[in-house]
Amino acid sequence: MNFSLGSERAVVGVDVGGTKIEIGAVLGDGTVLCSKRYSMDRSSQEATVSSVIDALRDFMGTTWPGAKLPAIGIGLPGDIDPQRGVWLRSLNMRISQPVELAHLVRVQYGCPVFVDNDVHAATLAELYWGAGRDSESFVYVNIGTGIAAGIVSNARLLRGTSNFAGEIGHMVVEPEGEPCHCGHAGCLENVASGGGMIQSAIKQMERYPHTVLRQFREEDRLSSSTIFRAAEDGDELAAAIAGRALRGLGIAMVNIVNLLDPEQLIFGGGVLRSRKLIAYLEEYVSRYALAGNRASLKSVRASSLPVDQVGLLGAACLAFNQEEVN
């Protein structure tokens, strides 16, 4: 990590999400000096890109009009080519044609610009400022609308051939399960992501006339968190969905521990911050992973970074981490 930038000079991080853009100035020790939230219009590829550019222009004009900026880091959903600085595609954000985002921003602000996907960015934040600080080898698992992971080995993010490493959401955990949009059946994302759990609930609601999930749905607060809570309170449908999700996650974590022999499993995203869920996964892994790998695994824990800041910190990390990318 190129901390030669020093902690006195802040970089700017841009966290691009499905509903909002968060921009902030961040010091080398992870301190957020200031940040501002902007709305996101993702009605088309042009609108998405304009939202990012306009938000950054406002931030640089009003909130952080400081001295010459050392670097900007941008965390994005979807497929990214960090070497060329290109946003390749994102279904959610309607990016279907490659966008040379690093170049677009660089010509405006005259400083190096680094882009990567949001889960890789969050993994770096975890490595330098979070639960992975004292660890050379961990897997960061982000569970939100989808599920993806960042793999750290020898204190470096494992990117794979084209920066697509970490797609744990399509690990097959129910080979005889329902078809997934990827073409296979029974992917982890279908049974354990927020999106997948909500879909399961809606599909099965008719068969459970008394489920509280129906009410949650009407009140627009059906989510993996509310499903897990309803399961604990004894709701039968919620318990069935939560049970499948936990078993799927348990299998995926055992596969990961056996395959990568990490020192830590770190969970990000809102849902898996629940102590009970993490305790379940810890128990599952300690029961089913191979003895040697189990002994290597020192902790199974939630991210120690604030859930509403990890995106911004990750984006800033990309700017500090520039040496590694280039």
For a second copy, the binding residues (CB under 8 A) are: 79, 88, 136-137, 149, 151, 153-154, 156, 158-168, 170-176, 182-184, 247, 251, 254-256, 258-263, 287-288, 290, 292-293, 295-297
In whole angstroms, the minimum distance from the beta carbon of 248 to a second copy comes to 9
Q: How far apart are CA 69 and CA 71, in angstroms?
A: 6
Taking the least distance from each CB to a second copy, the nearer of 13 and 262 is: 262
Residue 250, CB-side half-sphere exposure with 13 Å CA sphere: 17
Of 321, 226, 229, whose CA–CA distance to 26 is shortest? 321
Task: Tell the smallest beta-carbon distance from residue 91 to a second copy (Å).
Answer: 11
CA 286 from centre of chain: 25
Q: 26 or 265, CB closer to a second copy?
A: 265
Q: How far is the CB of 308 from a second copy (least distance, A)?
A: 28
Please, what is the end-to-end C-alpha distance for the chain in angstroms? Answer: 11
Of 163 and 226, nearer to a second copy (C-beta) is 163
Amino acid letter, 308: D
For the bound state, the minimum distance from the C-beta of residue 170 to a second copy, rounded and expressed in Å, comes to: 5
To a second copy, the closest distance from the beta carbon of 154 in angstroms equals: 8
72 or 157: whose CB is closer to a second copy?
157
Q: Where are the beta strands (DSSP E) in 85-188?
A: 86-89, 113-117, 138-143, 147-153, 156-157
Instruction: Give the Cα-Cα-Cα angle 264, 159, 95 (nearest 5 degrees).
Output: 115
Kind and range of the H or E run holding 188 = helix 188-192
Which CB atom, from 225 or from 255, has the smaller least distance to a second copy?
255
3-state SS assignment for residue 121: helix
- Nearer to a second copy (CB atom), residue 137 or residue 190: 137
Q: What's the min distance (Å) between Cβ of 97 and a second copy?
A: 15
Q: Give the nearest distance from C-beta 88 to a second copy in angstroms.
A: 8
Between residues 79 and 282, which has the closer beta carbon with respect to a second copy?
79
> Which residues are paired to 267 by β-bridges?
141, 302
CB-hemisphere CA count at 13 Å for 31?
Answer: 9
Cβ distance 188 to 212 under 8 Å? no
